[in-house]
Amino acid sequence: MIIDIVTIFPEMFDGPMSTSMVGLAREKGLLDLRLHDPRDHTEDRHRSTDDYPYGGGPGMVMKPEPVIRAVRAVRASDAAPATVVFLTPGGEPFTQRMAEEFSRLPRLALVCGRYEGFDERSLAHADREVSIGDFVLTGGELAAMVVTDAVIRLVPGVLGHEGSALDESFADSLLEYPQYTRPAEFEGARVPDVLLSGDHAKIAAYRRRQAIIKTARVRPDLLAGADLTDEERTLVARVLEGSEDR
């Protein structure tokens, strides 16, 4: 998969995009990460990418020409056709489902804003606008890294154990069940007996129940998309009314 990142701070990507799974994906040739600097598409001596907002107001706005030219250069390159995503706090919320969708693309371009954001005319060049959450970052670079990380681990061959992404939080609209590793007891806290039983059916039933309880407690909004049996719906109701323990 090709991921293009349009950013005026390409050096920010050095460490995070060379480490762990993303770094490994690049080494294995599963991710071709390409950085593009809008400053290379400026014409003035200072390579300016910002200017004052028309109509006044605080801060600066990202100039349209360098951004649009950089996006055009990505689209015009002869590798696979790119889906161009502008990162903005006002975009569609980024979700696991969107990460799955993006992971099936041959090429994804992530465009990072700075200052007070993009000139509206730049946004006309987006296929999608995406937000990583209801908060405001200084720039789109961290958001681009978040999206890259979440997407690339879903590309076959990256994790090395494909089942793990299917079993995680947000798969089936549920949060993940609690995980334990050795030792079986630490400072008096014991791993639940069922997980030591070797009975795979009982373990699966325990994990599903725990996932439902946790989701009902912490993120009941997710349950609208979950495929639950009548018995599981009763469990949810009991958790919500506070009558279900564990």
Ligand X SMILES: C[S@@+](CC[C@H](N)C(=O)[O-])C[C@H]1O[C@@H](n2cnc3c(N)ncnc32)[C@H](O)[C@@H]1O
CB nearer ligand X, residue 114 or residue 207: 114
Rounded to a whole number of angstroms, the minimum distance from the CB of residue 162 to ligand X is: 29
Nearest distance, CB of residue 153 and ligand X, angstroms? 19
Q: What does the binding site for ligand X look like in residue numbers (CB under 6 A)? A: 87-90, 112-114, 116-118, 131-133, 135-140, 143
Q: Which is nearer to ligand X, 9 or 170 (CB)?
A: 9
Least distance CB 145 / ligand X (angstroms)? 11
Nearer to ligand X, 132 or 151 (CB): 132
Q: How far apart are CA 151 and CA 36, in angstroms?
A: 19
Tell me the C-alpha distance between 208 and 177, whole Å: 7
- Residue 185 pairs with which residues in a beta bridge? 190
State in angstroms the smallest separation of the CB of 126 from ligand X.
Answer: 11
Q: Is the peptide bond prior to 10 cis by the omega test (within 30 degrees of 0)?
A: no
Closest residue (Cβ) to ligand X?
113
Residue 25 vs 123, nearer CB to ligand X = 123
**Do you find a cis peptide bond into 81, omega within 30 degrees of 0?**
no
Contact 87/144 with Cβ under 8 angstroms? Answer: yes
Nearest approach, Cβ of residue 50 and ligand X (Å): 11
User: Which run of H or of E encompasses 190?
Assistant: strand 189-190
Residue 38 or 117 with smaller CB distance to ligand X? 117
41/114 with CB nearer ligand X: 114
Instruction: Assess contact for 33 and 3: CB atoms under 8 A.
Output: yes
CB 38 within 8 A of CB 66: yes
**What is the C-alpha to C-alpha distance for residues 150 and 95, in angstroms, rounded to an integer?**
9
CB of 90 to ligand X, least distance (A): 5
